[in-house]
Amino acid sequence: MTHAGSGHEEVGVTDFLEEVESQTGEKVRICYQCGKCSAGCPVGYVMDLLPNQVIRLIQLGLRQEVLDSSTIWLCASCETCATRCPREIEIVRVMDYLRQQARLGGHTHAAREVPIFIHSFLANLKRFGRLYEPMLVGMYNLASGHLTKDMDKAPAMIIKRKLALLPSRAKGLHRMRQILKNIEEMRRR
């Protein structure tokens, strides 16, 4: 029941809200739109939806609008929002879930580079068990088409021996591969 002026209004619970809450463990419904997350967001200036708007759209069940937004890809996971949220919503965890859903559903047109970066990073881990920076740059540049990205830094880094010229294959490489394979199998089930 809702009383006018009681300051407590039940939000109709949508399927998308239920889904996000059950998958993230975050109580998205208790957000009262104070806007603190957006006020502190360092990347808010380039987002099409501000973080508090993403939360509101989840409450309203507007799945498509949320997954199509650039916000989920621009979020830098800096945790400023989650740290300041008076309702203690871990917004980065919510963003992670939205990114995963967007990748699964192919909603990546708002910022195609981020999914390519995530893919390149994980492919690197499967190959070496640890991140091998030159390979990450190479794979990302090839896949994204930004061929010269960060190439200007290579000469100085080589001179200063800041680049490992050969990857160090982690002794735990087979464990890395096994863990990622196990998780892929768990996800298929």
Partner 1 sequence: MRYAFYPGCSLESSAKEYRASTVLVARSLGIELEEIPGWICCGSTPGHMSDKLVGIALPAHTLAAAAKMGTEGVLVSCASCYSRLRAANHAVRASEAVANQVALALGERYAGDVPVYHMLEIVAKAAEAPDFEERIKRRLKGLKVASYYGCLLVRPPDITGFDDQEDPQSLDRVVAALGAEPIAWRHKVECCGAALAFTHADVALKLSGEILEDAKSSGADAVVVACPLCQSNLDLRQRNIERFLGIDLEVPVIYFTQLVGLAFGYSAGQLGLGKHMVNPVPLLKRRGIHV
**Alpha-carbon gap, residue 58 to 24, rounded angstroms:** 13
Q: Which is nearer to partner 1, 30 or 176 (CB)?
A: 176
79: contact with partner 1 by CB under 8 A: yes
149: contact with partner 1 by CB under 8 A: yes
Q: Find the shortest distance in angstroms from Cβ 137 to partner 1.
A: 8
Which letter, b or e, does each residue of 158-186 get, where b requires 16 or more Cβ atoms within 10 Å of its Cβ?
Answer: eeeeebeeebeeeeebeebeeeeeeeeee
121: contact with partner 1 by CB under 8 A: yes
* Long-range CB contacts (within 8 A, 24+) of 138-143: 140/116, 143/116, 143/119
Using the rule CB under 8 A, which residue among 87, 117, 127, 138 binds partner 1? 117
For CA atoms 112, 114, 118, 124, the dihedral sign is: positive
Q: Find the shortest distance in angstroms from Cβ 117 to partner 1.
A: 5
Site for partner 1 in 19-38 (CB under 8 A): 25
**Alpha-carbon gap, residue 73 to 110, rounded angstroms:** 8
User: With contacts defined by CB under 8 A, how many residues of the chain interact with partner 1?
Assistant: 61
Contact 112, 72 (CB under 8 A): no
Contact 140, 119 (CB under 8 A): no
13: contact with partner 1 by CB under 8 A: no
Q: Find the shortest distance in angstroms from Cβ 103 to partner 1.
A: 8
162: contact with partner 1 by CB under 8 A: yes
Q: Find the shortest distance in angstroms from Cβ 63 to partner 1.
A: 19
161: contact with partner 1 by CB under 8 A: yes
